Chains A and B, each alone.
Chain A
Amino acid sequence: MSAFQLEVLKQLDILGEIKSTTAVFANVNPQDVLSVLNSLKAHGKLTYTKNETITYDLSEEGNNILNNGSHEVKLVQLINDMGKLQIKDVTSKLGPNGKVGQARAFKNGWIIKTKENELELSDKAKDPSAIVDETKDILEKIIKNEPIDNKIIADLKKRKLIIPKKNADFSVIKGPDFSLDLIKSETDVTSDMITSGSYKDAKFKPYNFNSQGIDPQSGALHPLNKVREEFRQIFFSMGFTEMPSNQYVETGFWNFDALYVPQQHPARDLQDTFYIKDPSKSDLPEDKVYMNNIKAVHEEGKFDSIGYRYNWKAEESQKLVLRTHTTAISAAMLHKLAKDPKPTRLFSIDRVFRNEAVDATHLAEFHQVEGVLADYNITLGDLIKFMEEFFAKMGVTGLRFKPTYNPYTEPSMEIFSWHEGLGKWVEIGNSGMFRPEMLEPMGLPRDLRVLGWGLSLERPTMIKYKVQNIRELLGHKVSLDFIESNPAARLDEDLYE
């Protein structure tokens, strides 16, 4: 603590309050006073208010008048000494200020002018010692800081005898933490304080809590993958095992034939499916019994089906495609299940490909969420109940089921839910029981019924998080800011406020 800081505190202690710092600390530069007041204020020792006052210093001319008398008095004394004075000699005798003295002496009625252009003392000033030098007296008052009429001040300023000066004056009272000593406020808790224990005696500056912190340097996971993880956890919580869906290139056989999609079905058009040029064609499936069953069930009917009754061609099965649905993988998994049939739950969330024109809701690639559930003698009511439980886990309730058509499920049900935000029923998924024409050729027993359902990963994400364009979600046109600032995905979180 500086000596002056202590002096201020002492004076404050003695006086109780300091009404005017300029009065109490007249010899201290007001700037230094202010800085000390500020630092003491920050420590809560005192508070102050500023009272700005104006005082006046004398100019060089003013000082001269104060010491030697005013110009008009000097002129009177000169004329008194000389008797008379030629007007033209005033300047040469008294310098440039002689004219000022002459004018004011006339104004005071102390001198008169003769016909010969000479100056004489008037009767009023016959005794110069009796003349009151008002100018000098006023200036004396000025330096004594006595109150003076504003008009006179203005006149003195005009005569350039005084120079105004702003004085920073403060009145000071004790602050909440007033004391005669001074402890420095700390801004932060440091390791030194903790090890030394000094934090116990330290004073801490108050925080401004109305401000944001510094952004941490951070990575981020992609929003769509975060939603994917939510779905995975729902599946895991219901006993589903993840399928090996990491196989984008499929054969016409597994992508279509196995799913009882006839070879002339529009889904197999070049308009809808990406076919592969290189490599040019696939092998036929190893399980020839299965393959012949598929051929038969398409061509002439089998397993109590009348079939599609057309010529099934192996070449069509051998065409390679980019899978149009992950159900191609489900088919392969169910074929495997036929070797050891038992209740089974499988799921996958992975990419599928459609040769579609790209727009705000369609991309050539997207993710399909798919669940497969096999169990003995399950009913359509079981499927409905199970769908309600599944979707309830993502916060979607109040489902309705609409009959629909799907080549590989019968019955088929589209799943709708009421969307509060859009104010309408929206389709949220597709489901059904796989057809016997798909399951029985694999060798699965008749009473092991298999439910399948699917939805896209993008659509619920777009609806939930109000993304208008699928390209802002998937693909290279996504904004990194969007990824970086995206909150946690919680499907069970209600976003309608």
Chain B
Amino acid sequence: MPTVSVLKQQLFDLLGKNYTNEEFDELCFEFGIELDEDTTEEALKNNEEPQLKIEIGANRYDLLCIEGIAQSLNEYLGRAESPKYKLTAPTTKLIVDPTVAQIRPYCASAILRNIKFDAKSYASFIALQDKLHSNLCRNRSLVAMGTHDLDTMQLPVHYRALPPKDIKFVPLNQTKEFNGEELIEFYNQPEQKSNIGRFTHIIEDSPVFPVIMDDNDVVCSLPPLINSEHTKISMDTRNIFIDITATDKTKAEIVVNMLVSMFSRYCDEPFTVEPVTIESDHNGESRVCPDISERVMDVSIKYINSCLGLEQTPEEIAACLKKMSLKAVSSTENKDVMHVSIPITRPDILHRCDIMEDAAVGYGYNNLPKGEKLSNANFISTPLPINKVSDIFRAASAQASWVEVLPLTLCSHDENFKFIRVEDDGTKVVQLANPKTLEYQVVRTTLLPGILKTVKENRKHSLPIKLFETGDVVFKNEQLERKAYNERHWGAIYVGKNSGFEIIQGLLGKIMQTFRTNWLIDYGVSSSGRGYWIEEDKSLTTYFEGRGARIMFRSKEGEQAQQIGHLGVLHPEVMNNFDIPHAASYVEINAEVFL
């Protein structure tokens, strides 16, 4: 969830009341935002203005600046009406060249005429662009915006895509002219990596770069990177040209609407916006922009009441919705229907369920009547079968005096293979594409690495150390939709001065006996019924030579015996790889055979 910092006193002035933290907390809570931090104490020390850090919903772009937070809270408190946005007649055009189709096909635009900033509103204007860029615009990849001093531009404006070499301008806050190629090189320098350098990847491999130019071919901006020094705005700028370029048409509209709805309040005629005619015939996107008309969504009164467990009149519902900036009027044709007007500040409303939620917030979640409808009587609960099997393993192991551990599922490739002396044949293990550390490279295919790491962390514990885990390992399988599946395994270790092979073997016997499975002498020959035995397996390189065996299981009379796991004395190299100065024996089996 995004966090917005606002000046505490400025917000309280806008809300017409100096709230105590408790009161403000309460207000935020009921409205659905969260007071994260009040910097008053820190600010007083540093002689700064105290701020409030407010966490807002990730879909409420209208709350990304103080103007929007104050507007919404005032409407919620009944202190203000929703602004009525007005368009004047367009006076200029943004002419879109078909060449942009291959790089950044969509654009939007608007003009804020006769605006008057002060230091605070100017800072907020800049900050909102940053917030939009990093949230809705996905770090400028989907949408980028530029704001320009209209009075420096020769109109109309053009949006084109040009070869980088042909784009020449002095970028914002620089003195030297760059061409497109040089600019990429400049921003790819290490010192720019955390700044504009974060965005070069969006266009750098393209043969053409998008560019906004005025009618004299003076570059205004090179989206999504940088504006030009030439059209730079300041606190004193009176007329602002907004350019929006995008790969996502819907979000471009949202962004231009946010900028004009939040900042047209500072124009000489508040909430009035001058639109721009966009000429984009090649892709059918020609229009007058922005479109500030309110959407109307019809919603059933019965539906809202049914979801909220209320029996409100249309007027009562309308009053709740008004607190949330939504204007509802009853339909003249259908008594059950309300027409709800959704302002341009609320693109988060996609479905009538969003209106229903606002009706609930307007009413107050904590005021809703508590329902009594949900009885537990008609439901029969069942555990997941494999979890039931797991619990049998867990109880039996703990009863046999083993201690349950819970290592992580992710581990390094070495831990899952090299350190336990196993080759990766590429057929089993799921590998991660983008781990932040080497600790998480693969999803384990055996419980052993996690158990050994737990032993390593506890190697000063008194001996013997007896640990077990019942958990999932993951194997690849190309036949499946998800290309991989979990398998429940049980693994147990004995660590001591001696390897304790017969102790681990004894534990296995105890577990098998718990699952009604007896040991069969003579490697399964003595009986053709259910049972298990172990036989030496030289391919088990995790174990010391001549000390590793596979575990064979026959589930019932006439069934083929299958290998369900292995046990043995862990190879001294394995112990060394995990820095454990003791001897150990280990057993692991596939728990799913007992399903």
Contacts and interface: CB of A to CB of B under 8 A. Distances in A.
Contact of B405 (A283, A412, A483): A483
B308 A380 contact: yes
A309 B480 CA distance: 31
A383 B400 CA distance: 43
Nearest to B401: A219
Contacts of B378: 239, 343
Given A219-B466, A248-B409, A478-B454, A403 B361 contact: yes
Contact of A246 (B353, B408, B486): B486
A140 interface: no
Interface residues of A, number: 103
B474 A249 contact: yes
A240 interface: yes
A355 B432 CA distance: 10
Nearest to B135: A266
A304 interface: yes
B408 A413 contact: no
Contacts of B44: none
B357 A403 contact: yes
Nearest to B59: A405
B435 A384 contact: no
A128 interface: no
A375 interface: yes
A384 B357 contact: no
A379 B306 contact: yes
A363 to B, nearest CB: 7
B374 A385 contact: yes
A435 interface: yes
A306 to B, nearest CB: 5
A364 B371 contact: no
Contacts of B32: 402-405
Contacts of A401: 365-366
B102 to A, nearest CB: 15
A400 interface: yes
A481 interface: yes
A243 interface: yes
A403 B408 contact: no
Nearest to B142: A264
B398 A476 contact: no
A350 to B, nearest CB: 9
B232 to A, nearest CB: 30
B402 interface: yes
Interface string B352-371: 11101100110001101111
Interface stretch (A84-92, A173-181, A270-278): A270-278
Interface in A425-480: 433, 435-437, 449, 474-480
Contacts of B265: none
B373 A279 contact: no
Contact of A475 (B361, B408, B432, B485): B408
A130 interface: no
B307 A433 contact: yes
B399 interface: yes
B276 interface: no
B357 to A, nearest CB: 4
A219 B58 contact: no
A222 B405 contact: yes
B503 interface: no
Contacts of A437: 350-351
Interface stretch (A42-50, A184-192, A229-237): A229-237
A137 to B, nearest CB: 74
A105 B454 CA distance: 93
Given A236-B383, A364-B408, A382-B309, A274 B440 contact: yes
Interface residues of B, number: 101
A484 B308 CA distance: 48
A161 interface: no
B60 interface: yes
Nearest to B388: A242
Interface in A266-294: 266, 270, 274-279, 281-283, 285-286
B89 interface: no
Interface string A358-398: 10000111000000010101111111111010000000000
Given A246-B472, A345-B379, A477-B457, A357 B436 contact: yes
A238 interface: yes
Contacts of B407: 475-476
B350 to A, nearest CB: 5
A225 interface: yes
Interface in B328-362: 348, 350-354, 356-357, 360-361
A483 B403 contact: yes
Contact of A320 (B251, B467, B483): B483
A204 interface: no
B541 to A, nearest CB: 23
Contacts of A307: 350
A410 interface: yes
A386 B450 CA distance: 39
Contacts of B202: none
A142 interface: no
Given A240-B381, A379-B307, A410-B351, A483 B404 contact: yes
B525 interface: no
A286 B485 CA distance: 17
Interface string B60-95: 100000000000000000000000000000000000
A481 B365 CA distance: 45
A120 interface: no
B485 A247 contact: yes
Interface in B483-523: 483-486, 488
Contact of B440 (A364, A379, A386, A479): A364
A477 B443 CA distance: 19
B350 A308 contact: yes
Contacts of A9: none
A411 interface: yes
Given A274-B440, A279-B430, A355-B434, A385 B357 contact: no
A250 interface: yes
Contacts of B360: 380, 403, 411
Interface in A301-324: 301, 303-310, 320, 322
Contacts of B31: 403
Interface centre among A219, A286, A385, A475 (most CB of B within 10 A): A219
Contacts of A232: 383
Contacts of B353: 410-411, 433, 435-436
B258 to A, nearest CB: 16
Contacts of B418: none
A351 interface: yes
Given A239-B381, A242-B383, A249-B430, A476 B405 contact: yes
A329 to B, nearest CB: 11
A236 B84 CA distance: 54
Contacts of A275: 432-434
- 10 smallest beta-carbon distances between A and B, as pairs: A239-B379, A403-B32, A382-B371, A379-B309, A405-B57, A476-B453, A381-B309, A219-B398, A411-B357, A249-B484
Interface of A: 217-222, 224-225, 232, 235-251, 254, 264, 266, 270, 274-279, 281-283, 285-286, 301, 303-310, 320, 322, 343, 345, 351, 353, 355-358, 363-365, 373, 375, 377-386, 388, 400-405, 407, 410-413, 416, 433, 435-437, 449, 474-481, 483-484
Given A248-B443, A270-B434, A353-B410, 18 more contacts: A219-B404, A220-B403, A236-B383, A242-B383, A249-B483, A281-B483, A282-B481, A303-B351, A355-B434, A356-B436, A380-B308, A381-B368, A401-B365, A402-B32, A476-B405, A476-B450, A480-B458, A483-B403
